[in-house]
Amino acid sequence: MNLDALAAVVEVDTGPAERLAHGRDLWPRSTLALAQDRLPEMPDAVAFPRDEGQLRFVLDWAVTQRVAVVPWGAGSGVCGAAQGRAGTITIDLKRMNWIGQVDPATGTVRVGPGVLGQHLEDALNRQGWATRHSPSSIWCSTVGGWAATRSAGQFSSRYGKFEDMVAAMRVVAPARVYRTGQWSSGEDLGPWVLGSEGALGVISELLVRVVPVAERRWLRGYRFSSVTAAWDAMRRLMQAELHPCVLRLYDAVDTRIGGRGKGVRKENGGVLKSLVGLLDSGASLSLPLALPKMVNALAAWGGGECVLIAGWEGRGEVVDITSRHGHSLLMAAGGQDLGAEPGEHWYQHRHDVSYKLAPLFTRGAFADTMEVAATWSRLPALDAAVRKALGEECFVMAHYSHAYREGCSIYFTFVGKGEASRYDRVWAKALDAAASAGGTVCHHHGVGPHKMRAAARELAAAAPRFAELREQLDPTGIMNPGRIFPPVDVPEPPAPPIAIDERSLLATLPAQQPAAERDEWLAARGYALRFPTRNPLATGLPQVRSAWETVILGASAQVEGRRVVVLAVPRSAAGPDPRGAFAPEAYETMTVPLVPLAEPTVRVDRLGRDVRPARTVGAVWELRGPAAADLAALSLADAEAEP
């Protein structure tokens, strides 16, 4: 490996401190190993390109030297995707950290992949704009890392995940430089790059969609008698076209441990902070970790009271309307108003990240999180299955966030005895439980070596095309090899049944069925397509979507004489998104969103600023739900006020 030739052009560090830092990310399994004095594999060197030209040089050098490369953002991933390995070099992209000026006409900004999230938000805020991508790791994660893992922020219910905010990318691959999205020519590879974790090239520039800084924000807390009652309220709210920016529900255990028993969280940190506090006081974790089932039962004892945080933001008049109707809906669904304090407290502390977890690992425990997701109809079974799998050997609790019209994510936090074999066993059971319950094994943390086999089984439909692209773009196989879509044996699945999921407002329909026949079948059951089309679904659905919409939830298709099925889930991040990637004639079925025909509806030919339509029907917009009339009146007033 001729590092001198590389260092002549690009900054390179071969020192032990830099190599050790890039030998791991924040995967708890590697943290556990480090706490037990087992050092990670380290890359041979770390390269720091400053621009696309230097990045191109690094990849050309790596191809010539036959050296594998691992792209690196800020190392905050929790699945091992960015971990260095012996005989490789890490490409640290944080020197590629430019931020352009916002283009107000298009609502976009050009940024480098190495920009830290908070730096981007601060720069945009000074210009009156924001992405509103707000992960807990915003201080220690990068824009390129967000795209590579299909990250989700805390306001994804309103603004979508980061993949929805990416308008275009430039990607440097060993074979060529290519562009995606609005910059693409020919096939748009954007859906394949997003979530590919560096396997299809290194992102060198992004065009990111931005929104004006919110004029007003409204936040509140609600107490519910049980998680199931709160789930129903969340579902009804998300399907009422009220577009909250946040819906965040804490289960009964998290509500009590996090100090929310009266609806106000006094301190942040929840179960992890409580356990660290025990250690600081000299207590031992031996007993609770040895008897996890008993501890879980004791923690759950005393009732199922839980707390929901709800919030709206945007244009003041729109927030007034949507929050008023949202508040009424939550109260009618059984919520008890706790006032603004719980929501405001959460907002002020939403990026608090505990830096005191080391005692848990050094004193014989591990702490981890698992984020899964499912449609509303499958959410209870997913919650029960994963909770049972984790709870056999860990103390476990959960909160529910990233809610959408079709379903919701579950974010489990769990603590167990610090043994690598136990850690692996717990995760294997939990991933199998999530898949068996019809949920995605990953909503926003990425895949890495941690989840790659489970993700490969979930997205087996994407593997053939992904392998083709990898061969075309990286023929020598140097890009983060062996990290995504390993070979797995998946039996050919049956065709999904033609059916309507009324709780999730979804229908699985024949993709080639004539439009009139399909629409008549839906109308007889009281529904219509959310995205109307006069063509069969396979050829008629729109390709461009708004950030808060999902056009295709799932699909089945015939690929090389074999059926493949993409699971119908809201916003999976188990790798790239193949839902709209098959040839039109290959589709057998598609799972698509619906609207109820009996829902209150108002049609307008002008939309007020920040008013979001439920549907586009011909040349008019359709407003639906309890706020439809008020939003239509606001749109009319805006139109009349125009010069």
Counting every residue written for the chain, the total comes to 643
Distance CA 595, CA 388 (A): 35
Q: DSSP letters along 329-393, please?
A: HHHHTT-EE--SHHHHHHHHTTT---S--HHHHHTTEEEEEEEEEEETTTHHHHHHHHHHHHHTT
What integer pLDDT is reported at residue 268 of this predicted model? 45
Nearest to 46 by CA among 66, 26, 17: 17
3-class SS of residue 307:
strand
**What domains are defined for the chain?**
3-92 (3.30.43.10), 108-212 (3.30.465.10), 216-452 (3.40.462.40), 499-596 (3.30.465.10), 601-641 (no CATH)
**Separation between Cα atoms, residue 423 and residue 431, nearest integer Å:** 12
Dihedral in degrees, nearest 10, Cα atoms 67, 73, 79, 80: 30
Contact 147, 170 (CB under 8 A): no
The region, left, alpha or beta by phi > 0 then psi within -120 to 50, assigned to residue 4 is: alpha
Q: 275 CB contacts (<8 Å, ≥6 apart)?
A: 285, 360, 365, 367, 415
- Alpha-carbon distance of 436 to 386, in angstroms, equals 10
How far apart are alpha carbons 250 and 223 in whole angstroms? 10
C-alpha span between 116 and 119 (Å, rounded): 5
Residues 211 and 597 sit within 8 Å (Cβ to Cβ): no
CB half-sphere exposure, 326, CA atoms < 13 A:
29
pLDDT value at position 68? 97
Contacts (Cβ under 8 Å, ≥6 apart) of 342: 220, 221, 260, 263, 264, 265, 307, 309
Question: What string of H, E and C letters represents the secondary structure of 583-638?
Answer: CHHHEEEEEEEEEECCCCEEEECCCCCCCCCCEEECCEEEEECCCHHHHHHHHHHH
Q: Cβ atoms within 10 A of the Cβ of 546, count?
A: 12
- How far is 318 from 301, CA to CA, in rounded Å? 41
Is residue 41 within 8 A of residue 23, CB to CB? The reply is yes
- Mean pLDDT by 10-residue block, N- to C-terminus, for the chain (643 residues)? 94 96 93 90 97 98 97 95 93 98 97 98 97 94 97 95 96 98 93 96 98 97 96 98 96 76 46 55 60 72 84 98 98 97 92 72 89 98 96 92 96 92 97 97 95 95 93 97 89 95 98 98 98 96 78 94 93 91 95 95 95 92 96 96 84
CB 586 within 8 A of CB 537: no
Quote the pLDDT of residue 526. 98
Q: How far apart are CA 635 and CA 341, in angstroms?
A: 32
Burial class (CB in 10 A: 0-12, 13-18, 19+), 268: middle
- pLDDT at site 548: 77
- Model-level pTM? 0.94
Q: What is the reported pLDDT for 285?
A: 62
Sheet holding 11-13, edge to edge: 11-13, 45-48, 89-92, 69-72
Q: What's the pLDDT at 303? A: 64
- Please count the other Cβ atoms lying within 10 Å of the Cβ belonging to residue 430: 27
Cα separation of 197 and 174, whole Å? Answer: 15
pLDDT of residue 355: 62
Comparing CA positions, the residue from 80, 74, 128, 81 lying closest to residue 101 is 128
Q: What is the pLDDT of residue 264?
A: 45
Q: What is the dihedral of CA 310, 139, 135, 455, to 10 degrees?
A: -160
Q: Strand, helix or coil at 69?
A: strand
Give the largest CA-CA distance in the chain: 72
